[in-house]
Structures are given as C-alpha cells and as structure tokens.
Chains A and B, each alone.
Chain A
C-alpha cells in the first residue's frame, strides 16, 4: 500500500489573543471539515493567529497516516510565504499529532495564504495545503482590545498602511501616522471639527469598524489621535493621549485632506486655507489632541509630525507665535495626559 497522509487540523498554541468580527478566535486554526469556508479574501483566514516578533511559533498538526510501512522519524515542514514550521513524527499508521515550530522574523509581518506541507522523505512528499494567516506584532495588544486584537486592523496595517517590515516601534508609528494623514481618504472637518470616530476629547469609545473603511470622511484631531492609539495598540505599541487646551495658531503646514494651511477652520469663516498671519479672520485651534509614544509626538492631523520631536519641540514646530492675538507658543507643561481609549466598536 502506498503512503497516504491527510491533514486533519492545525492548531497554533501560545499566541496572543486575536479577534475576528469583534469576537475571540478559537482553534483549531485550520480544520479539514471547514476548509472550504475558512478562506477570507484572496489569502486570509477566518481564524488567524498572532505572535510577538522573534517569537517561536508552535502549532499542533494532526495527520491521518496510512501505508507508512514502519518508517523511522521524519520531518514535517510547512511553508507559508517566507515563514517555515517544522517538526518530527514517527512515520507509523494512524492518527498522529505533530508539534511543529518556527521562529518569526524581527519585523511586523503578515504571513498568509495556503501553507504547503511536505514530509521530508528522500523525495519530498506533498501532504497537503492549509489556509493559514499569521501576524507578528511588537507586543500584547492594548487593553481596550478586550476580545483580542482585531485581525481586520492588522490586515489594514500590513496592507494599505504598509507598516509591515517595521522593526522598531518608532518606525511603525511614523508609517502609521503618515498613512492616516495622507492615504486613508480623510479630511479635516474645517467647519466644526466634529468627532466622527471617537467619543470625545478625552478618548472613550472608538469606532474602529467604521475607521477601517474610512466610512466617515470628515475627522477631528481627536479622531486621528484615537486612530493612532488604537492602531498602535493593535501592534502592541504603548501610547499616551495628550491634550493642549491653550489656544494656538498653526504655522503653515499640511492639514489632513487639504494641504498647506495656517487657518484650520477656513470653511467656518469662508476664508482661504493660507491667510495673512495677522488677518482678523485667521482661525486657531482652541484645543488640540496628539499622540505620544516613547517620549516623542505623532500628529496625523497637521504636519504630519512623525516622531521627530519631544513635547516642546513639537509645539515649537507646529505653533505660529506671529498672529493677530499675539498668542505665544504654549509651554510643554501645559500639555496634559487624558484617559485615552476605553473600548472599541
């Protein structure tokens, strides 16, 4: 009887909590009985797994073997893109559970698609293919991911947001900030700065489902701050929610969705985006929120500011002290921490 091997299931062990459609994912991550409906999109899975970068990933693979003929230990190898899992099994008939393992790289990544499983015999034997999706992140997700980190957020980060390949938290935050500012089809609400995604200026609930598809086109600075906190939190990056409540005018800079601007509420006064510094109709921020991580500032609303300044450096770079009201550059001491995001919907 010739050798016959069937994949029955693959269950990742020891990963970080992960959610799909807001609910926790449970294993096995691939099952023969559900293989047709496990696929999501071109290469995704409805049961992804998430690990820290550089982590040793382990999975239990269940095989059904017939016609083995009493062979000795053999290596089972699974390849998913550039990621490889390996383990050994005694090649005997019956149901075998093989613990396979592999080490993830040192960068944010998404490995997805149909993993190819081979038994490494003198002539490699194709066991089968299983749809799998494995993400690597910096650390455990932020606590507001109560059901686990949303795989939909990780897909956005590794896809459109191009955060994959980041090996450091500052690199990932800068890429994320740049994405939110320039590549997510969002515009500043230059009329009222109404919050579209976040509950309020102190944080609270964040509408991540809507943000992922940019359902609301107009945003406030607090929406963008919320997005940085939440999407950074999905990667395991700690952040702080900072608020400056002193009035200030902005230097001419890129305002999200509009380009160069020194007059953020230009629609309210029916004035140009860039206006004379001392013009009476020039508008100012009377409160502004931005994100801090590892003691540097990220602001996707104006700039964008990509983590090259600490608090005072950010204010010096962003604030225009030549203005009609003679408002000075605020001191960093006037910035205060707020509660940040509490829950996601």
Chain B
C-alpha cells in the first residue's frame, strides 16, 4: 500500500516537473543535444573552455570542442564546409575567412535566428557589443562588400576579438621623465630616444618579419596616419604620401628597435617586451594577459597601457576571431543558443574574468573585471576607435598581403627605396584586382 502511494507520488511529481519544464526554458527542446564546435587554441578560447561547463549545467546541451592551432583551422574548416553534412555546429573563424566563407555561401545568415522568438533572448542587448568588432568580423554585404552598410547583414558574432593598444614600461618612462606618446610624432621620437637613454634596450617592439608580420605592422600605422590600401573604386593607393609615411614610421621603429628587430614575428616582438629588452609594445590586446604572468614575464607590475597613438585620425586595428554557424551544420538552432549564450553579458564577463577578451562595452567598464585586470578600462576606451576597415577583407587579400609583406621586408632589411617599392606593390595589386574582376564596371 505504502509502495503504491510513493509510486503515485513520484509519478505525479515527474508529470508535474515535465509540464513545468515544457513552459520553463528556451533550452528544454534541445536538452541532451551534443554540439560539436571548432575553436582555436588561443588565450581567449582557453578561458572559454573554463566557462563552457557552466553552459551545459544551465541548458543541458553538451558541447564537444575540437581545439586546433589557429593557422591549421582554415584548412580543416574548408574541408568541413564543403561537405554535404558537416561535423561542426559552430566554428570560430579568423576575420580573413569571413570574406571567403560568406562569398562561398557557407555561413548561416543570423537574421532568421534573431527573428525567431523562441531562440532570441530579448535581454541580449546587441547595442552593447563593440561596434567595430561586429562590423569587422560579423557583418558582410554592406560598403565595399565586406563592411557594414545599408545592405549589410549579420553572419557571425565577435568572440575573442582584439584591437591594438600601446603597452609601455612605466618604470623606464618615470626614470627618464618621458611622456607617454599620444601621437605618432611623439611615438617615433620616444622610440628612438630610448636606445640612447637605456643602452641595450630597444624602443618599440614591432613585428617586421618578411610576409604577414611586416605587412601587419605597416597596416597598423597606415590607418592612423590617414592612409588606406584602396580608394573607393578599388584603385590601390598604398603608394600615397600616407603610405610612404607609414612605411617610414615602421622603418624608424625597426631601426630604433632592439637587436634582430627586423626578423621579429608577433611572438618574438612580444617576448622582447616581456624579457625587458624593449620599452614599448604596440599590437594586439590579446597580449596583455601575459604581461603580469611571472612565468612568462620579467616585467610584472612595470607595464602600463595607453590607446594607440593618434596620427591624422584615431584608428586602432580590429582582428581576432568571430563565431558563426556553418550552412551544413546539423544542430543549427542549438548552436545559435550556444552562440548567444557565449556572447551574452553574463558569459562575456565570466570569460573576461577567466582571462579572455571581452566583446562588450559593459564588460570593459565592469568594476569586478577592472579590479582583476586594471587595463580593461583603457582597452574599452581604445575600442571606441576600433577601425573595421584598417585592412581590406577580400578574397585576394592573401596574395596582396604577402607581396606587401615581402616588399616591406626588403625596405627594412635591404634599404630598398620606399616610394618605388610601394609603387611596385600598387602596380602588382592593380593587376591582381584586375584579374579578380574588380574593374569590371569601370
């Protein structure tokens, strides 16, 4: 008798619970689903890994992560995206891939998910997402095809995005009474003063190695100095006065850099700053997490941060990663829920506290986050000048980038003439663009 009673009670309870759950959560329908996602191994995503179990606990959706080295991702994703049925439900992509994936119709347009009342969280607050990041990584189809604009639409959300920031050695600057550079004139001046004041120490640690690194460093100065790679009609203007000024700035920085500066990649430039052989560092914010890690850094507690110096305009780089849903994914709706959760205010803050790069203004201003990472507020300020068009995101960019990078390397190491070198780049770029059909309408 007793037994039957308990059975009854538990059956009733079960019934009641499931009825409750059915009206309770947007996640109910997807409970038990397993999502397969592709993330890079990168400081931001390492922080994400610490936060992911929270998602599973909250929603009952399991997540299986395939973490790859970020340069290897592209190859694997290309294979996956061309299959009829892909293995990935959600993938992180570098900003370069946006052009290719969207053009090849391999990413889901996110409009239909944000329109779906069952999926879209009304408290998501999209306006709080860093605008430059969304424009750079998420939106395509507007201005120039790859930028936001009247005809643009959303294909991904920024996640692990980064901008450029100036790190400097507070102790060295204090010792010699130097002012933190706010514009390019001051920056170049200080960069070349430091080797004189502190023998053996380089001014600014910059990337310069042949190829992508040299090109990246050049573009970093090109946008603030008022230049662009193309004008409004896709004519290369890299050899303009602004382009020459940017190349000259880069050359000055490398010449006043520490020993071997002409072959530095991102890692070497960072290591030089962490080892205390360079007094400044102007590159991605992703680097900031290592500065106060005593295992990697000899400059713990000596580094302060400032926004990217002003040239003719304030313009800091935008880059890093975004997340999107492949067209051939199996669990698209659950993938959207994960995507929305990861970029929500709550998760953004959790990830930031775990050492990731937040993509929301509110997280940058958050008291708790700033208590742990005091540089966040400066980063938040810098983000207001994040420039989504600091480099073109078009399918032929890889080729132009490589040419620009090797040509600049010749300028830096062989003393090639800047104007004629950039003229050469412009001429070759023109023919690449011609082949790719950019002048069809002219």
Q: Do A and B come together as binding partners?
A: no
The chain B residues found within 8 Å of chain A, CB to CB, are: none
The chain A residues found within 8 Å of chain B, CB to CB, are: none
